[in-house]
Amino acid sequence: MRMYDIIKKKRDGGELSTGEIDFFIRGVTDGSIPDYQITALLMAIYYRGMTVRETCDLTFAVRDSGEKLDFSAIDGIRVDKHSTGGVGDKTSLVVAPIVASFGVKVAKMSGRGLGHTGGTVDKLEAIDGFRTTLSEEEFIAQVNRIGLAIVGQSRQFAPADKKLYALRDVTATVDSMPLIAASIMGKKLAADDDCIVLDVKTGSGSFMKTVEESRELARLMVDIGKNAGKKMVALITNMDRPLGNAIGNSLEVIEAVETLKGRGPEDLTEVCLTLAGHMLSLAGKGTPEECERLAARSIADGSALGKLAQAVEAQGGNAALIEGGAKFAEAKYSRAVKSEKSGYIVRTDAEAYGLASLALGAGRNTAEDTIDFAAGILLKKKTGDRVEKGEEIATLFTNRDEAFASASQILTAATEIGSEPPVRGPLVYETVQ
């Protein structure tokens, strides 16, 4: 087999065979195919697309390019949730303990944030003492004991994706539907879950800017997962505005805890209950509607909060930060951003809000950057709210006083104020199954 022929076939609109896709991914992984041929094929895929069969083959080859987890030692049904990434998205911290409080197992591996989006592992590391690295034995034992463990990806999952993503990033081939689906699902399927709920974000703060694109990506990823024998459902949720009011690591943990105490912002609570409802439903606990009510009950009776505290304690974290009695370290400086005019907030650019938080120190520009856990933004006003000139729209937090100027400039430019209240889109657009 020759890479030249594979590139030519796809360039001319042909359908690659399973063998050709396996040959390509093996060569990407062992370094035998040079970057110029890899990127030539990526560009051909970008223009010509892939069938569902080709995309499944690509995903499975990416999954099989590295280590895979074996969760057969975990007792019971294992459910995971994966978000395509957003701003202020702390849903994992809320839904994982809700689901685990019903005896459904959540063995979660999460990522770190990069650029304008945050990552669950960074948020957890804001909790004093919390260990995001556990041995496989510790991880499995914890899931069996309390139903929930959340760790970072310390192992070499899907190394082919790492190489492909780095090349896509510099050759303008990131936004290709089959390449995105194979990248996300190749990594996801390296874990050993029975059921997966995908949260496909749509809007300014996400990869997919329109509902149509999000629907297409959701359909493709659900089909790939089903082909791999998983129970799947995808929700398309709104990322035109940040989710909840907090952006930044410890601020988001505090908000997640408030949500588990029944005092969370309405939008975050609604998205979390819908996600948790679908996770419990896939695990056989009832219809999504019944399970949403169960999820609400686990918040009302404190069992979900108790489950998070148990997991935090088991992973060495200070559980008093979750249950009360201790407080997160606060940022040295805070400053209000005030509205320059009166009216209604008609649009907030979620991506720019993420970038403002990054400027305050809450995120990373490169994988090596360190994070200021106390940095971030608390929103006082959101899309649809009325504001008066001089009224506070957000409070910024940082340990670097000099960061305020650019963060408040970005935030002000990203908040459009008009004279009429906007029509607000739904929080959950649709379900794809």
Chain residues binding ligand URA by CB under 6 A are 174, 179-180, 183-184, 207
Cα(275)–Cα(79) distance, integer angstroms? 11
Q: How far is the CB of 84 from ligand URA (least distance, A)?
A: 6
| Residue of 183, 214, 339, 357 marked active site | 183
Single out the catalytic residue among 63, 78, 81, 82. Answer: 82
The torsion angles phi and psi of 295, rounded to 5 degrees, stand at -60, -45
Has 10 been annotated as catalytic?
no
Q: Which is nearer to ligand URA, 88 or 147 (CB)?
A: 88
Q: Which is nearer to ligand URA, 183 or 315 (CB)?
A: 183
For residue 205, the 8-state DSSP code is T
Q: Are 351 and 205 in contact (CB under 8 A)?
A: yes
- Calculate the CA 140 to chain-centre distance: 23
Which residue, 174 or 427, is less far from ligand URA as judged by CB? 174
Q: Which is nearer to ligand URA, 183 or 259 (CB)?
A: 183
Q: Which one-letter DSSP state was computed for residue 15?
A: P
> What backbone torsions phi and psi does residue 189 show, to the nearest 5 degrees?
-75, -10
Closest contact distance (angstroms) between CB of 413 and ligand URA is 26
Catalytic residue among 78, 108, 116, 168: 168
| Residue placing its CB nearer to ligand URA in the complex, 207 or 328 | 207
Give the nearest distance from C-beta 161 to ligand URA in angstroms: 7
Q: How far is the CB of 282 from ligand URA (least distance, A)?
A: 22
CB of 183 to ligand URA, least distance (A): 3
Give the SS3 label for residue 187.
helix
Q: Work out the angle at residue 86's Cα, subtended by the Cα atoms of residues 387 and 199, and round it to the nearest 5 degrees.
A: 120
Is 187 one of the catalytic residues? Answer: yes
Q: How far is CA 116 from CA 92, 130, 261, 280, 299, in A?
A: 18, 24, 28, 30, 30
Q: Which is nearer to ligand URA, 24 or 130 (CB)?
A: 24
Q: What is the dihedral of CA 137, 142, 144, 148, to 10 degrees?
A: -130
User: Could you tell me which of 61, 68, 67 has the C-alpha nearest to residue 33?
Assistant: 61
Dist CA 396 CA 403 (whole Å): 10
| CB of residue 324 to ligand URA, shortest distance in Å | 36
User: Residue type for 188, please?
Assistant: K
Is 281 annotated in the active site? no
Q: Side-chain half-sphere of 122: how many Cα atoms within 13 Å?
A: 31
**Under a CB-based contact definition with an 8 Å cutoff, are residues 106 and 139 in contact?**
no
What positions carry a catalytic annotation?
82, 161, 168, 183, 187
